[in-house]
Amino acid sequence: MFMNALLAGLTLGGVYALVAMGLTIQYSVSRTMNLAYGEFLIGAAFAAYMLFGTLGISPYLLAVVIVPVAFGLSWLVYRIMATPLVRRAGTGMALEIDSMLLTFGLLFAIMGILLLVFGSNYTNYSYLAVPIRILDATVPANRLLSFVAALVVGGLGWVLLMRTRTGAALRAVAVDPVGARLVGIDVQWAAGLAFGLGGAVAALCGVMVSTYLTFTAEMGVVFTMKALIVVIMAGVGHVPGALLAGLSLGLVESFVAAYLDPGLTVAVIYAVFLLVLLLRPQGIFGRVVR
């Protein structure tokens, strides 16, 4: 039972970590809170479902097309819709409030389109649901791949941010946009790139979970909420922290469901979230700004 709970928690936590990594990259660099983030994930899940049913191509191969499209759409959303807000916002707080209102409306617009095209019924399909034996527990291959994808994307994200000039520019904008502009960094370019990268990560997660998760057009807000919890727990802008916090949250949820009561999972998650807010309001891996 312990191994089953451990593997279930890791695979679930991998999904949480993958979703949160994209959101923390978007927000930390662009200072734009994207409440429609989960809709990009669900949109990618529906795209994988539709193309797999029509073409019969592996969803993992379809991700090669879906992920770049999501990157482009997210970049366009920032350039067309968010950039005017950035130009007119007098303070960082004003930008965050305006962006939340904007993306809140975008959330319902995308949800409405998905409802119109796919309806409100639950949708699912199965791909690579092959059981894999690990020690004395069994885990489906599609769920295990979600966990592996989270580790790979987390590693690539760390390399991009910490070992490349582009990553250095993104980190500079995240820390001090005004100072970054003074040393010649195009802040709008960096913010658009971060927004696109976040959308791409969300789409990848949507493709991965679509192979085993039942989803609806109205489910995006659930992923956005879980991503926000993980981002705040880890500390905004901390990509490795988002990975660790997501995995931890998945493990907590899995062990509570296995050893206590599945009905307590939501209560325990929010209790942990509130405890972090009380003891470490800057996040577990965040730093106090003085």
- Residue 1 has a pLDDT of 76
> What is the overall mean pLDDT for the chain?
89
**262 occurs within a structural domain:** no
pLDDT tens digits, one per residue of 19-46: 999 999 998 888 888 999 999 999 999 9
pLDDT (average), residues 181-204? 93
Answer yes or no: pTM beyond 0.75.
yes
Domain residue limits at 185: 19-221
pLDDT tens digits, one per residue of 202-255: 999 999 999 999 999 999 998 999 899 898 888 877 778 888 888 889 999 999
- Residue 241 has a pLDDT of 83
Q: Could you tell me the CA-to-CA distances from 34 to 58, 132, 138, 198 in Å, in that order?
A: 30, 37, 37, 10
**6 occurs within a structural domain:** no
**86 occurs within a structural domain:** yes
pLDDT (average), residues 96-107? 89
**198 occurs within a structural domain:** yes
**4 occurs within a structural domain:** no
Domain count of the fold of the chain: 1
Q: How confident is the model at residue 90 (pLDDT cuts 50, 70, 90)?
A: low
Q: How confident is the model at residue 290 (pLDDT cuts 50, 70, 90)?
A: very low
pLDDT tens digits, one per residue of 139-164: 899 998 888 888 888 888 888 888 89
**189 occurs within a structural domain:** yes
**207 occurs within a structural domain:** yes
**268 occurs within a structural domain:** no
